[in-house]
């Protein structure tokens, strides 16, 4: 068949056996009716129908320009086409007209690959105009997921009021705070203030003011001249203030679309693995792309680091304390995934390696660890806004090689090693930030030091670890509601000092060592099937004591 079409194309170029000429603008293309009809339902209908065109020698196509027609007829004979930024906007409608569905699909896939905050609204409108449902949905989702960047674009500022309303009324907007939506409305109105200011009330209907902080409402919203100027907007402000005045349990009774939290679809994620021992402290950092199922290297740490605590907070990764190969450190490095760059922030007050790190109520907690001579019970907290560390209540027990996790608004410290009794610990304690108190909860069924701790579906997992020389593959899970531990399926490998993180409904365990080797393998636990599966793609190097966290994939 391939050969036959090759011959037909050669016949065409020599103008042999051609029985029709297709004309667009001043381009004339000789061709064979049967070939055109075989590939394009449009030509099929034309040549087999009752219309006079079915026998005409010359057919003029008005809706398509000459060059585009040539590309499409070449495609019919060769099944090859080059979609580019320059031609896609004319190719797609022309392919639609000739009903060349494969070309149309290729154009849509090309546009999808070009999606960016500066063009996604234009692509969305284009897809809508040409009935490309799949591309329309993809562009729409893209705009919702990158809302904060999209509203900075020219395309956004030039939208019509209906389109702005449709965008900001979506439940799926991914935004750090509702402030973004308010600011986006003000920016859009100010772009053509004289004409647009009377539209304020229509837009503000979709801004969920009750979800904003009191400070922001009073200092920003109420002071905004566009709000002051509209009595309907002031009503929305009153609604928001009423919401804040009501006791929490009565707020649920307010029947307003504006008190409902937005529920964004999750952004694509990367798993980031930072430093570790391989076999000495290293600087290398690599990321696993869940969608592409492969690893890639990113910017190295500024200095060697293993046994550090690792968290992702406010779009940045923090590598806290650890061991640099000769010293336990109090330094903290932070990583910006967008810039692919490390910088340092304020030092902790204490030196700590093998600590636990977690985020509770927007603050970064560094828990326990080892300072080079003793295990630590102390806990300190980092406030991103002030770039300062301060101590809170210490744990009841000294814990080095401790694992921590936040579930149900509380911070749990799991197992570890207590220098005093020289024993690995099965005990677990829990921190309540409201009372600044640690209290013991149910013990694990076994002693675990260097366990991987992670939270999935409101349950706290303790994975592997060791008791003396014995390295574990067993896993247990704590339910904070019933305050009980229960055993789940074993991992495929024994691991201690592995990294753990939860993503897409699965719990991943990364590297660690099995008592003799540092592991480059990753496995994940699926709570629905109670099974562990080894990921086929390994890290570039075996690492134990690496920091692991999940981040949003940068654009």
Ligand X SMILES: *[C@@H]1O[C@H](CO)[C@@H](O)[C@H](O)[C@H]1NC(C)=O
Do 495 and 536 form a contact (C-beta atoms < 8 A)? no
Do 443 and 423 form a contact (C-beta atoms < 8 A)? no
CB closer to ligand X out of 315 and 325: 325
Please tell me whether residue 304 binds ligand X under the rule CB under 6 A: yes
Q: Kindly tell me the sign of the dihedral angle through the C-alpha atoms of 457, 272, 146, 142.
A: negative
Please tell me whether residue 397 binds ligand X under the rule CB under 6 A: no
Binding mask 505-534 toward ligand X (x if CB under 6 A, else -) reads: --------x---xx----------------
Select from 324, 397, 427, 449 the one that contacts ligand X (CB under 6 A): 324
Name which of 457, 452, 463, 426 is nearest 441 in CA terms. Answer: 426
Q: Minimal distance in Å, beta carbon 229 to ligand X?
A: 4
Please tell me whether residue 353 binds ligand X under the rule CB under 6 A: no
Binding mask 21-60 toward ligand X (x if CB under 6 A, else -) reads: ----------------------------------------
CB closer to ligand X out of 407 and 510: 510
Name which of 400, 394, 391, 399 is nearest 349 in CA terms. Answer: 391
CA 482 from chain centre, in angstroms, equals 32
| Angle at which helices 133-145 and 120-129 cross, to 10° | 160
Residues with Cβ within 8 Å of residue 188, at least 6 apart in sequence: 151, 156, 157, 159, 164, 196, 203
Name which of 460, 476, 485, 453 is nearest 409 in CA terms. Answer: 460
Select from 303, 347, 492, 520 the one that contacts ligand X (CB under 6 A): 303
Q: Minimal distance in Å, beta carbon 377 to ligand X?
A: 24
Residues 204-243 within binding reach of ligand X (CB under 6 A): 229-230
Residues with Cβ within 8 Å of residue 340, at least 6 apart in sequence: 298, 299, 554
- The residue number with the shortest CB distance to ligand X is 279
CB closer to ligand X out of 337 and 499: 499
Please tell me whether residue 333 binds ligand X under the rule CB under 6 A: no
DSSP string, 229-254: T-HHHHHHHHHHHHHHHS-HHHHTT-
Burial group, residue 252, by CB count within 10 angstroms (0-12, 13-18, 19+): exposed
Name the segment binding ligand X (CB under 6 A); options: 56-64, 80-88, 320-328, 373-381: 320-328
CB closer to ligand X out of 117 and 322: 322
Please tell me whether residue 326 binds ligand X under the rule CB under 6 A: yes
CB closer to ligand X out of 22 and 233: 233
CB closer to ligand X out of 344 and 487: 344
Q: Minimal distance in Å, beta carbon 225 to ligand X?
A: 7
> Token pair 């049967």 is at which residue?
34
Q: How far apart are CA 376 and CA 53, in angstroms?
A: 88
Binding mask 251-280 toward ligand X (x if CB under 6 A, else -) reads: --------------------------x-x-
3-state SS class at 77: helix
Name the segment binding ligand X (CB under 6 A); options: 65-73, 127-135, 321-329, 358-366: 321-329
Residues that bind ligand X in the complex, under the rule CB under 6 A: 229-230, 277, 279, 303-304, 324-327, 329, 513, 517-518, 544-545
């Amino acid at each position: 068949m391939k050969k036959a079409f090759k011959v037909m194309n050669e016949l065409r170029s020599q103008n042999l056996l051609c029985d029709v000429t297709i004309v667009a603008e001043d381009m004339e293309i000789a061709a064979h009716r049967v070939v055109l009809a075989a590939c394009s339902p449009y030509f099929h209908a034309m040549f087999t129908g009752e219309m006079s065109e079915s026998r005409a020698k010359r057919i003029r196509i008005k809706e398509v320009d000459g060059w585009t027609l040539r590309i499409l007829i070449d495609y019919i004979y060769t099944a090859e086409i080059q979609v580019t930024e320059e031609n896609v906007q004319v190719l797609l409608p022309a392919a639609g007209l000739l009903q060349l569905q494969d070309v149309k699909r290729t154009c849509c896939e090309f546009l999808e690959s070009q999606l960016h905050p500066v063009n996604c609204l234009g692509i969305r409108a284009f897809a809508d105009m040409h009935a490309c449902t799949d591309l329309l949905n993809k562009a729409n989702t893209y705009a919702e997921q990158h809302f904060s960047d999209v509203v900075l674009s020219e395309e956004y500022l030039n939208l019509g009021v209906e389109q702005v309303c449709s965008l900001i009324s979506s439940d799926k907007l991914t935004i750090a705070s509702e402030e973004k939506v308010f600011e986006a409305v003000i920016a859009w109105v100010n772009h053509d203030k004289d004409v647009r200011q009377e539209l304020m009330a229509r837009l503000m209907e979709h801004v969920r003011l009750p979800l904003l902080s009191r400070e922001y409402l009073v200092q920003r919203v109420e002071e905004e001249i566009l709000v002051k100027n509209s009595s309907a907007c002031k009503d929305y402000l009153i609604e928001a203030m009423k919401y804040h005045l009501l006791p929490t349990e009565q707020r649920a009774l307010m029947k307003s679309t504006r008190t409902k939290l937005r529920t964004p679809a999750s952004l694509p994620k990367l798993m980031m693995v930072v430093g570790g021992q391989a076999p000495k402290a290293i600087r290398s950092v690599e990321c696993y792309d869940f969608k592409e199922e492969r690893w890639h290297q990113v910017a190295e740490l500024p200095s060697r680091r293993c046994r550090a605590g690792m968290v992702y907070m406010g779009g940045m990764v923090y590598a806290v304390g650890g061991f640099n190969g000769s010293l336990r450190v109090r330094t903290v490095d932070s990583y910006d995934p967008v810039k692919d760059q490390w910088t340092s922030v304020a030092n902790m007050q204490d030196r700590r390696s093998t600590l636990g790190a977690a985020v509770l109520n927007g603050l970064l907690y560094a828990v326990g660890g080892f300072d080079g001579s003793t295990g630590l019970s102390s806990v300190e907290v980092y406030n991103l806004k002030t770039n300062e560390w301060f101590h809170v209540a210490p744990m009841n027990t000294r814990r080095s090689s401790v694992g921590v996790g936040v579930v149900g608004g509380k911070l749990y410290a799991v197992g570890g090693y207590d220098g005093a009794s020289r024993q690995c610990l099965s005990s677990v304690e829990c921190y309540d930030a409201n009372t600044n108190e640690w209290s013991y909860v149910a013990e694990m069924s076994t002693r675990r030091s260097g366990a991987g701790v992670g939270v999935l579906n409101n349950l706290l997992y303790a994975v592997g670890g060791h008791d003396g020389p014995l390295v574990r593959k067993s896993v247990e899970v704590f339910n904070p509601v019933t305050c009980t531990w229960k055993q789940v399926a074993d991992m495929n490998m024994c691991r201690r000092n592995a990294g753990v993180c939860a993503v897409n409904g699965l719990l991943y365990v990364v590297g660690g060592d099995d008592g003799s080797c540092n592991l480059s393998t990753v496995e994940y636990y699926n709570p629905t099937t109670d099974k562990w599966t080894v990921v086929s793609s390994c890290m570039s190097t075996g690492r134990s004591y690496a920091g692991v966290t999940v981040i949003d994939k940068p654009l």
